[in-house]
Amino acid sequence: MKSANFSSEWLAQALEGLGVSVSNSLLVAFSGGRDSTALLHAASRLGWPRLRAVHVNHGLQASADAWAAQALATARALGVPCEVVRVNVGRGGRAGPEANARDARYLAFASHMRAGEVLLTAHHADDQAETVLFRLLRGAGVAGLGGMAGIRPFGPGRLARPLLTLPGALLAAYVAGRQVPYIHDPSNDDEHYTRNYIRHRLLPVISARWPKGMEAINRAARHARVTRDLLAAYVARDVEACTAVDGALIVPAFLGLSPETRAEVLRVWLARRGGPPLSEAKCAEILGALAMVPRSRGQVLRLARAGVLRRYRERMVFCKDEDDGEAPALQCVWAPPFVDLALGNGRSLSAVPVLGGGAAAARIGGRPLVVASRVPGQRVLVPGRGHRALKKLLQELGIAPWDRSRAVLIFVDDALIAVADHWVCKDFRAGPYEAGLAFHVAP
């Protein structure tokens, strides 16, 4: 949306274009600076039934408390309820103070939003161009070069940036014309920070040489977002084809993709599992490892402190560091009528009546079952097969090493008749049209 002016009417149209209506509650991210002051002032003139603001006090400047007081006073003068939230900004780590402050700020926004609320930020077209250049200089791909989204899911609601098509100069003119006071944070002038350097040094040079340079950068970002969305649709199809019902990556199907596609599929699959974003180097390392056939038929690929990728035979799963696959030791009696049995760690065992599958109900009779977990070195009696090493049996069933302690073993008397969700021994298997019990573990 383009305009020669910024006003409350312009803002109303921009919000409508993003799918935000008067039925939505609005929360304005209000730093008290020029841009967010213009946004809050215009929003206060909309007559919106539910509008409030939040000011995040990072405590990084000596004037932080005075700024918080000024933000409260400005919001009060506009008739908008405002809350000040104090945050602690970590000074360590590789991300740097800018990123740490941003993370703390957005965590505070998310934690103070109400269900269905729309958080408004005052990012404008100059900020979008700055973001695109910043990401370009860091070697971003299509997703990064698309810049900031106009609206997206966030916290318990959505985050909207209605000013992204508006030059910052129009916001400056808006507050100047109405003589609205605002806060100037001197840290925004410190060119030691990369974004400030881009804002104060690079963008003016670009605008001087190419008067419509900012507009061109933002247009390129829109093209990148279209390409990103198209690519995401194609990649999603490939991710689905390479993902098992339980979420594991099916390695042969994955390796059957073109080399150019694998990296994006891996990133999307990992993100869906709750994994971290992958650098280009780390992604190449994982792809190289997956292309090899490990002698042990298993691989463990560590992702720094963010978790591990575990491959066994033709499947790979992502586990967080604290999730080592271990489960509490288990041994208990499960008596008919076999109501759901709690196993610990939020898991439960159920016996679902089926026809022509599972363990034959008639062969179990009215006997109780013994439910147990694996003991290292254990040998078990399998009806019709004699005593077997349990490790070998679980290998035959394709159960990965890290899942073996979680396998739920089901015995009748002293004989192993089933491994829940994996196997029923032949002598106890229900025949066609015979009533059976299918043993399932949830979640």
Containing 203, the helix (H) or strand (E) segment is: helix 203-209
* Cβ proximity of 330 and 343 under 8 Å: yes
Would you state the pLDDT for residue 94? Answer: 53
Structure tokens of 418? Answer: 């089933």
Would you state the pLDDT for residue 140? Answer: 86
Q: What is the pTM of this model?
A: 0.67
Helix (H, G, I), strand (E, B) or coil at 301: strand
Would you state the pLDDT for residue 252? Answer: 94
Would you state the pLDDT for residue 341? Answer: 95
Give the closest residue to 420 by CA, choosing from 408, 412, 432.
408
Q: What is the C-alpha separation between 28 and 120, in angstroms, rounded?
A: 5
> Where in 95-171 does DSSP place strands (E)?
118-120, 151-154, 157-160
C-alpha 344, offset from chain centre: 27
Per-residue pLDDT of the chain (443 residues; tens, 9 = 90+): 555 689 999 999 999 999 999 899 999 999 999 999 999 999 999 989 999 999 999 877 888 899 999 999 999 999 999 999 998 876 655 556 777 888 889 999 999 999 999 999 999 999 999 999 999 998 888 888 999 999 999 999 999 999 999 999 999 999 999 999 999 888 888 888 888 899 989 999 999 999 999 899 999 999 999 998 888 899 999 999 999 988 999 999 999 999 889 999 999 999 999 898 888 889 999 999 888 876 556 788 888 777 899 998 889 999 886 555 556 688 999 999 999 999 988 899 999 999 999 999 999 998 999 999 998 889 999 988 899 999 999 988 888 888 888 899 999 999 999 999 999 999 999 999 999 999 999 87
- What class has domain 242-319? alpha beta
Would you state the pLDDT for residue 175? Answer: 94
- What class has domain 8-221? alpha beta
Q: SS3 sequence, 413-435? A: CCEEEEECCCEECHHHECCCCCE
Q: What is the C-alpha separation between 319 and 302, in angstroms, rounded?
A: 10
- DSSP line for 341-393: EEEETTEEEEEEEEESSSEEHHHHTTPPEEEE---TT-EEEETTTEEEEHHHH
* Cβ proximity of 45 and 80 under 8 Å: no
Question: Please, is 233 exposed, middle or buried when counting C-beta atoms within 10 Å of its C-beta (0-12, 13-18, 19+)?
Answer: exposed
Question: Is the N-terminal amide bond of 443 cis, ω within 30° of 0?
Answer: yes
Residue found under tokens 């509490």: 328
| Contacts for 223 with CB less than 8 Å, ≥ 6 apart | none
Domain ranges of the chain: 8-221, 242-319, 331-442
Would you state the pLDDT for residue 326? Answer: 55
Amino acid found at 170: L
Structure tokens of 329? Answer: 């030791």
Would you state the pLDDT for residue 195? Answer: 87
Q: What is the C-alpha separation between 284 and 52, in angstroms, rounded?
A: 46
